[in-house]
Amino acid sequence: MTNNKKQIELYQDAFNFLLDGDHELVVYGVLKKLHIRHDNPYYDDLVQEGMVAFAEKYIQAINLKKSPGSYLLFIYQGVYWHLLDCLRKEMRHRAGIEEPDDETDLLAELEDKKKSVGYYDTHIISDELMTQLTREEARYLSLAYDYGMNITEIAKECHCSRTTVYQWRRGVIKKFQK
């Protein structure tokens, strides 16, 4: 199966999941949390943006191998942040803040973080911390920080109890405080 067909099938599965049961209420719940009402001129556009973000977050949850029980929370957060970004872009547009064109090299305008003191301080602390952690604590930190896993997901991944994961977390915190 080609990559394109696989991608199409993933999106089809995502939209089927969205329409299955009451999952589309996630999008409407996000709109309610953002205080977007039916009389907002952008309401229908934001609903559509939310539906697309729902599908993309569903695919991302599958690719991250999240447990099906945590799909909706992960998707809700993703839809929330996506719609918030859409609203911010609209506010910047209304305020007349200029959007860069395609020819502008945005990377050239950014400061080089590697030349900042904060970058070196953070990496020195991080490298020092990693030398003090046990193998399990380092794995916990990587799974929690790099992959965004919660305690339950880490316990399943490491084939241990949640209590053990909490012990690893306490060990990381103690060593970080030193």
Entry pTM:
0.50
Q: Is 31 exposed, middle or buried (0-12, 13-18, 19+ CB in 10 A)?
A: buried
- List pLDDT tens digits, range 9-55: 878 887 887 777 777 888 888 888 888 888 888 888 888 898 888 88
The CATH class that applies to domain 112-177 reads mainly alpha
Per 3-state DSSP, the chain is made up of helix, strand and coil in percentages (nearest 5) of 75, 0, 25
- List pLDDT tens digits, range 117-155: 555 556 666 777 778 888 898 888 888 877 888 899 999
